[in-house]
Amino acid sequence: MKPERQAHNVAPTPLLVAVDAVVFGYEAQRGVSLLLVQRRYGPHAGAWALPGGFVRPEESLEAAVSRELEEETGVKISYLEQLYTFGAPERDPRQRVISVSYFVLVRPDALRVQADTDAADAAWFALEALPSLAFDHGEIVATAVERLRNKLTYEPIGFELLEETFTLTELQALYESLLRRPIDRRNFQKKIRSLDILEELPETRKSPGSGRPARLYRFQRARYFELQARGQLFEVWI
């Protein structure tokens, strides 16, 4: 007969749940940028970090992300998606904190930010020129950038970073900025048109340094969801 194992009463480790937001914005002149806040209080006071904070008992995770972004930066969300859960025991020096991270896309008209509450400052940084980040936020950002670049090739989330109307050249510039490589213009436009999710508008717009005005387009969100429900794939391998 096997000896009975002695029961061990182990006190549960106190846990806090936080949310962190990787907020991407885009402007043609600056390319893809990341929204950061400067921490007013410790730990890491004065360091740059992702917007975020602790989840209140009565909140959903999504509500906590929206609240923290509004309180710390004033930014309005165009697109929100859960990214990953980060829970290394030593990630926060105060106590055990598990962070559920999200990546967020905002349109150009929402790029104006205003620091508030526990953020001493809030600012956009070019993706290629980020400062050193507090906690494990550098790892969170790297995970979000990889996810965003991958999703661009099979889901049309790039439209969430553009103005409501755009030219195909402007759309291509966004893809090139995110993928960090040039794209053949003819192949790109042929592929995008074949997806059948753009509405061609009668208006045109002339971009700085370009020749004649280019036709404007609008993303057909309802059409996209209709085609998605039918099982259509939206791969944009270019």
Please give the C-alpha separations between residue 93 and each of 12, 43, 98, 104, in angstroms, as whole numbers: 18, 7, 12, 26
Q: 30: domain CATH number? A: 3.90.79.10
Domain of 54, in residue numbers: 16-151
Task: Give percent helix, percent strand, percent coil of the chain, each to the nearest 5.
Answer: 30, 30, 45
Least confident of 98-102, 140-144, 175-179, 195-199: 175-179
Would 11 be classed as within a structural domain?
no
Instruction: State whether 89 and 135 are in the same domain.
Output: yes
This prediction has a pTM of 0.88
Q: Are 217 and 189 in contact (CB under 8 A)?
A: no
Instruction: State whether 140 and 177 are in the same domain.
Output: no
Would 181 be classed as within a structural domain?
yes
Average pLDDT taken over every residue of the chain? 89
pLDDT band at 238 (very low <50, low <70, confident <90, very high): low
pLDDT at 176 exceeding the cut of 60: yes
Would 5 be classed as within a structural domain?
no
Residue 107, pLDDT score: 86
pLDDT at 56 exceeding the cut of 60: yes
Residue 105, pLDDT score: 93
Instruction: State whether 107 and 21 are in the same domain.
Output: yes
Average the pLDDT over 145-167 and give the result. Answer: 92
Instruction: State whether 105 and 185 are in the same domain.
Output: no
What is the total count of domains within the chain?
2
Task: Give tens-digit pLDDT for 97-127.
Answer: 999 999 999 987 777 888 777 788 999 999 9
Instruction: State whether 60 and 134 are in the same domain.
Output: yes
Structure tokens at 171: 């759309």
pLDDT at 209 exceeding the cut of 80: no
Task: Give tens-digit pLDDT for 2-20.
Answer: 555 555 666 677 889 999 9
Instruction: State whether 114 and 182 are in the same domain.
Output: no
Average the pLDDT over 197-221 and give the result. Answer: 88
Task: Indicate the residue among 117, 151, 185 that finishes a domain.
Answer: 151
Task: Indicate the residue among 89, 123, 151 that finishes a domain.
Answer: 151
pLDDT band at 36 (very low <50, low <70, confident <90, very high): very high
pLDDT band at 129 (very low <50, low <70, confident <90, very high): very high
Would 238 be classed as within a structural domain?
no
Instruction: State whether 36 and 120 are in the same domain.
Output: yes
Helix (H) / strand (E) element for 81: namely strand 79-86
